[in-house]
Amino acid sequence: MTKEYILNFLTTHKKEMQDTYALTKIGLFGSYAKDTANENSDIDIVVDMPSDFDAFFDLKDFLEKELRKNIDLGLEKSMRPFIKNAIKNDILYA
């Protein structure tokens, strides 16, 4: 799987995810965004959406099912400032 494949998937399904999970932003970061992923890498995704526990985990399940990889899903507004600062230049938004 490549960064381009993941971003294409996120872009193609963004409207559906906005309607279903009320997300406003979704982006890729981490090893896939940096082209350093290997077969054991998970996919790091950050989202901006309401703090709805069920919707958050439903979105995570949807992404894992569709992309067939473990997803490390982060809620942007809940990230600690040092984490946000560490990844802000690496996030590729769909």
Active site residues: 42, 44
Residue ranges in 1-94 assigned as alpha helix (H):
3-21, 53-67, 81-87
Centre a 10 Å sphere on the Cβ of residue 91 and count the other Cβ atoms it contains.
18
Question: Residue written as tokens 């294409």?
Answer: 8
Q: What is the DSSP letter of 24?
A: S
What length is written for the chain? 94
Side by side, which strands form the sheet with 92-93?
A: 71-75, 43-48, 25-29, 92-93
